[in-house]
Amino acid sequence: MNYWLVKSEPSAYSWDDFVKQGVGVWDGVRNYQARNNMQAMKVGDLVFFYHSNEGLEVVGLAKVVKEAYQDPTTEDTRWVVVEMTAVEKFPKTVTLKQMKADERLSDLALVRQSRLSVTPVKPEEFDIIIGLAHEG
């Protein structure tokens, strides 16, 4: 079991949009590192859903329901999508500010590589963020 974090601008695709859809197809990724991370995702992996540009916070948890396959929005065979479904909307969102301020999360890929849209999360980081999401 691996853990991940994906970013989305809520004006384009928010957590609520994702929940409404039921199963969200994560398309449009055009970055090799993000693509490699998506290809490493397995069914059942847990994924934080982060709002970029607005909100700047982790809003909920999703899980992978279908592993990487060719992105249907392009002919270009380099790119893939994964499918995810919502698991839980967090009682308390976890803000970027909180995560940056937490020494235990100083190595978080989201913090270190702020432009990467799909990043891995270590199991210990996952536990810390889940903790913050439930008791603040």
Partner DNA sequence: GCCAACGTTGGC
Q: Select 93 or 117, whichever has its Cβ closest to DNA.
A: 117
Does 36 bind DNA (CB under 7 A)? Our answer is: no
Stretch that binds DNA, among 59-67, 69-77, 81-89, 94-102 (CB under 7 A): 94-102
Measured from the CB of residue 22, what is the shortest distance to DNA in angstroms?
24
Q: Select 9 or 42, whichever has its Cβ closest to DNA.
A: 9
Does 31 bind DNA (CB under 7 A)? Our answer is: yes
- The whole-angstrom separation of Cα 104 and Cα 92 is 19
* 90, 40 contact by CB (below 8 A): no
Does 69 bind DNA (CB under 7 A)? Our answer is: no
Measured from the CB of residue 34, what is the shortest distance to DNA in angstroms?
9
* 118, 6 contact by CB (below 8 A): yes
Residues that bind DNA (CB under 7 A): 7, 9, 30-33, 52-53, 56, 96-97, 100, 113-117
